[in-house]
Amino acid sequence: MNKDIINTAILATAFLLLFGLAELLYHKAKIKVELTRKLVHFGTGIITLLFPIMLDNSWLVLFLCGSFALILLTSLQFNLLKSINAIDRKSHGSILYPVAVYGCYLVYNHYTIKFGKSTDLYIYFYLPILTLAICDPMAALFGKKFPYGKFTIGKDTKTIVGTSAFFASSFILSSITLFCFGKNTLGFANIFVASLIIAALSAVAEAVSGKGRDNITIPACVITVLILFS
């Protein structure tokens, strides 16, 4: 338990340093908020990958996720953390991100309780988190750089290029991750099919989910497909 508490403090410090770096880049280096926001999005995902390795207690994961959700809510209320919040659209993405992380950890924790701790089970946590951390920013960056094929869903404007970038990066990421953690149970044919379905469903989820709700729908799609194929 003492080790978990120490690791929780280390992870919390890493998150705070990431937020501090984003604030420094935004205020001092004048980096655009869309880039600092994506930096935090990506960096948070990478740090989060340490959860299954460093933490065995779901309550401590809840503490971390809840604490940062509270920090983000407070920053919105008092106009703080502009490197994340100073965007010209309404988004709940930053608040929903820690919710998604905790949900993914609960799924992973369920399987470890059921089958015992195994690196093969990391797939239930790693793939949805990596899809959020890598594919979502890829869609945004490519969509802004090459704004072709625009379409509107609700009040959000997306692009065919952005959605295609999400699909391609998700397929590659899923294939690699499933091969690393699921080849013993899935087999090569199922890895290809599962990767294709994950990429398609999560790309659609990213396209149709407005106001940052894709931070919930994307990992939900990934986990659903993993459960079906398991």
DSSP assignments along 120-140, one per residue: GGGHHHHHHHHIIIIIHHHHH
The set of residues, in sequence order, having a beta carbon less than 8 Å from that of 52 and lying 6+ positions away, is 105, 108, 122, 125, 126
pLDDT above 70: residue 30: yes
Average pLDDT over residues 178-195: 84
The mean pLDDT value of the chain amounts to: 90
Extents of the domains making up the chain: 2-229
Count the neighbouring beta carbons within 10 Å of the beta carbon of residue 77. Answer: 8
Q: What's the predicted TM-score (pTM) here?
A: 0.90
| 42 contacts 18 by C-beta, under 8 angstroms | no
pLDDT digits (tens, 9 = 90+) for 123-159: 999 999 999 999 988 998 898 888 888 888 777 788 9
Burial of residue 95 (CB within 10 Å: 0-12, 13-18, 19+) is middle
pLDDT digits (tens, 9 = 90+) for 54-85: 998 999 999 999 999 999 889 888 888 898 88
